[in-house]
Amino acid sequence: MKVDRRSFLGLGIGAVAGIAISPVGAKLTDDFSIWTQNWPWTPVPPDGEVSYDRTVCHLCPGACGISVRKIDGRPVKIEGLDPYPVNNGGVCLHGIAGLQYLYDPSRVKSPMKKVNNRFVPISWDDAFTMVAARLGELRNDQNPETLACISGSDQGSVPGLFKHFMAAFGSPNYLTMPDLESWLIRTAKTLHGDAYTLGFDIDHSDFILSFGAGLIDGWGSPVACIQAMGTRRQRESTLVQIEPRLSNTAASADRWIPINPGTEADLAMGMCAVLLKENLFDPGFAQGFSGGFMRFTAMVQKEYPLDKVAGITGISASDIQKTAVAFAKAKMPVALPGKGRGEGAQNLKEFAAIHTLNCLSGNVNKQGGTFVKPLPKYLNFPDPVQDTVALKGAGSAPLAGSVQELVTRIDKSGESPVKALLVYNANPCFALNDPSRIRAAFEKIPFKVCVTSFMDETAMASDVILPVSTFMERMEDVPSKAGLAATVVGLSKPMVKPVFNTRSPGDVVIGIARALGGDMAKSFAWNSYDACLEQVTARIWGPLVRKGHVVLSKNLPAGSVKTDFGFLAENPETVKPAGALEFTLIPIDNFRVPPTVPAPSPFAIKIVSDRILKGTDMFVEINPQSAKNLKDGGFATLTTPAGSVPVRVHFNDGIMPGVIGMVKGLGHTLDNRYVSGKGVNVNTLISPKIEPDSGMDAAFCIKAGISKA
């Protein structure tokens, strides 16, 4: 066929008209737009009936009441519970991220045992049998005291069950991680005697002298503290913050006084000297002073004169004098110990010296003051059934006063004095100074059992992992602690059925004891942890279930308080940062990064500043005045006596020249790609240093050098 001009045009016009009229084009466009809007891989959350349930968060010592929104029983959002005596509607980011912990990729999904350095799942029965067999050997060998237990905290019925277990087993070696509460109990013990703790009525105080306590950086019960700070200006309450770095708390304070790192104890002693010299202490309260008050007075006057303290701390003598006098003359002053979150490596001298300021002010057991409270006694465990083996073992001397001291013992002996170890809700292989040393000590312990929800650093170093339900999946009593003025016990309830094959930690202890059989099983005659909880909290169980919480003490602690100055009168030595390098490295507690258990959630890591973490690079803060040839954002090598790591530099005018700051809680190596392998764990750069009087690691900071990489 011949294609002439006419037929060509005709065909062309026909084709154009055909395409224009044909529905194919429109249909294809329509299909295309529908196709581009099909996202079968994007989840469509199922709708359903909305309900709200209440429980108590126990991710941190804060013990906040929370409200859980559910859709057909499926929790979708956590919010603050209002009213609740701790947090009154407030909540923090970690509590909200509680739902992420439920489905966290590093959750341990069933009991595991280590075979050839790999974990294989086993059944609960096998796990209990195996653990009981290994622990039973210790009792058969008449060495029950070679079992040690490390727990994250010391209060509540679950730590109570672990202690009950240790007593029935026959070992005195029950240790807790150094949280703020443990430091407060130690301080109260040193100055006032056994079974006391300290609470601070910062809601009413009109003058808060904080020795680095990060009141809005996670100290104490974080939400309660932030709320108290939120109303502080309206109440015309003054906050003076003393620390080497402009923390968020310092930034919000009325006055920030920079201090040479690690000299807080000397400053507090110097301030005591000022109050005593100027006769600014409360004579009424001083009638309860004993154990060398006169010796203490003479000692601080002699050893802590203003000029000397000014030299040590780097604060001018007039500032020290003025601040001490302002503190003493305030109506309701409170001095707060505990740098940052107040946990980890602190020191007893500092806590005691700071609390002595409270004692001298006389504002103790008064509104707006410091409460010397008896430890809550709402739990009544039956006496453990102890056979002769247990009695002998339990009567032996404890191996150590702290986890670090225990590690030192193991480190120094050829064969580990600890033959088996139970770890519950603690991650010493990450959270304590020099974790590699702790892991090395763990390797010398023949049998380690980790009772945890997550495959964290300590779980990975264990032989058996017994997975426990998270706080959203279990019932438990949650006593408030960490410096709160009121004592509140909350009841946390399961919001959802356990997502994985996990059990309540109480049931785990009972399970091990029953598998051990004999007298051990007799001490644990409960059918389940829930039955145990009901029995041991019998005194408050009714209201606890009805209201969800019980306020044990709201009123001021009654009775006079004796104060013993014996410890401080001896002028214990201040633990100095190790090494001779030019800078001092301090850990920074950042609200968005939890430092211990559990590891940060994906949401928490997501909102960490890109001047703390960039990719996997860790930033350190340094004052530009002392940065020499370093560049802002540039790479550098940070060296301490404990090790050396590559870092990047962040210039911060708000840190003292000569000080390097590194955020604590990053650098995890657990099995969670959203959290793991990011940054550096600052603990790897600090070697522990045991304070002789407390047996605790007191290495808060360390000398460091930094050079351009």
Partner 1 sequence: MIHDKKAHKYGMVIDLDKCTGCGTCAVSCMSENNVPFKEDESDKKDSITWMRVYRLTNNKPFPDTEVAFLPRPCQHCGGKGDHGHSPCVSVCPATATDYGYDTGIVSQIYTRCFGCRYCMAACPYHARYFNWWDPVWPEGMEKYLSPNVSPRMRGVVEKCSFCYHRYQLAREKAYASGSDEIPEADYQTACTTACPAGAIVFGDLNNPSHKVHQIVKPDPHPDPLNPDVVGKSRNPKVFRLLERLGTNPKVYYMSEREWVRKLGDHYLDGEWDKVKNVYGSASHE
Please select the residue that binds partner 1; options are 97, 188, 276, 426, rule is CB under 8 A.
Answer: 97
Asked if 660 contacts 704 with a C-beta cutoff of 8 angstroms, the reply is yes
Q: Which among 141-149, 224-232, 360-368, 429-437 is the span making contact with partner 1, rule CB under 8 A?
A: 224-232
Nearest to 132 by CA among 147, 120, 121, 119: 147
Residue 44 in the binding site for partner 1 (CB under 8 A): yes
Please select the residue that binds partner 1; options are 65, 178, 222, 598, rule is CB under 8 A.
Answer: 222
Helix (H, G, I), strand (E, B) or coil at 486: coil
Residue 603 in the binding site for partner 1 (CB under 8 A): yes
In the complex, what is the shortest distance from the CB of residue 409 to partner 1, in angstroms, rounded to a whole number?
Answer: 39
The phi, psi pair for 692, rounded to 5°, reads -55, -40
Q: Which among 187-195, 318-326, 360-368, 602-610 is the span making contact with partner 1, rule CB under 8 A?
A: 602-610
Nearest to 645 by CA among 606, 669, 681, 612: 681
Window 101 to 140, contacts with partner 1 (CB under 8 A): 102-105
Pull the structure tokens for residue 585: 């490295």
Residue 646 in the binding site for partner 1 (CB under 8 A): no
Window 178 to 217, contacts with partner 1 (CB under 8 A): 216
Q: Residue 594 carries which DSSP code?
A: -
- How far is 468 from 503, CA to CA, in rounded Å? 5
Window 656 to 685, contacts with partner 1 (CB under 8 A): 656-657, 673-674, 678
Please select the residue that binds partner 1; options are 23, 83, 414, 615, rule is CB under 8 A.
Answer: 615
Nearest to 65 by CA among 550, 506, 536: 550
Residue 212 or 688: the one with the smaller Cβ distance to partner 1 is 212
Please select the residue that binds partner 1; options are 55, 210, 227, 356, rule is CB under 8 A.
Answer: 227
Window 555 to 594, contacts with partner 1 (CB under 8 A): 591-592
Sheet of strand 238-242: strand arrangement = 255-257, 238-242, 207-210, 333-336
Window 67 to 96, contacts with partner 1 (CB under 8 A): 69, 71, 74-80, 87, 89-93, 96
In the complex, what is the shortest distance from the CB of residue 226 to partner 1, in angstroms, rounded to a whole number?
Answer: 4
Residue 597 or 656: the one with the smaller Cβ distance to partner 1 is 656
Residue 192 or 668: the one with the smaller Cβ distance to partner 1 is 668
Residue 58 or 355: the one with the smaller Cβ distance to partner 1 is 58
Q: Residue 308 carries which DSSP code?
A: H
Q: Which among 305-313, 433-441, 540-548, 599-607 is the span making contact with partner 1, rule CB under 8 A?
A: 599-607
Q: How far is CA 336 from CA 214, 280, 606, in A?
A: 10, 19, 31
Neighbours of 684 (CB within 10 A): 18
DSSP for 667-702 reads -B-SS-TTTBT-S--GGGG----B-TTT-SB----E
Token look-up 């005593």 returns 276
Residue 380 or 616: the one with the smaller Cβ distance to partner 1 is 616
**Residue 507 burial (10 A CB sphere; 0-12, 13-18, 19+):** buried
Please select the residue that binds partner 1; options are 1, 20, 39, 236, rule is CB under 8 A.
Answer: 39
The footprint of partner 1 on this chain (CB under 8 A) covers a number of residues equal to: 76
Residue 598, preceding peptide bond in cis (omega within 30° of 0): yes
Please select the residue that binds partner 1; options are 238, 623, 640, 687, rule is CB under 8 A.
Answer: 623
Sheet of strand 476-479: strand arrangement = 476-479, 487-492, 549-553
Question: Residue 85: what residue type?
Answer: P
Which residues are registered as beta bridge partners of 370?
200, 364
Q: Which among 19-27, 508-516, 533-541, 654-662 is the span making contact with partner 1, rule CB under 8 A?
A: 654-662
In the complex, what is the shortest distance from the CB of residue 626 to partner 1, in angstroms, rounded to a whole number?
Answer: 10
Window 398 to 457, contacts with partner 1 (CB under 8 A): none
In the complex, what is the shortest distance from the CB of residue 36 to partner 1, in angstroms, rounded to a whole number?
Answer: 8
In the complex, what is the shortest distance from the CB of residue 82 to partner 1, in angstroms, rounded to a whole number?
Answer: 9
Pull the structure tokens for residue 341: 């979150």
In the complex, what is the shortest distance from the CB of residue 59 to partner 1, in angstroms, rounded to a whole number?
Answer: 13
Asked if 75 contacts 495 with a C-beta cutoff of 8 angstroms, the reply is yes
- How far is 520 from 516, CA to CA, in rounded Å? 6
Window 497 to 556, contacts with partner 1 (CB under 8 A): 499
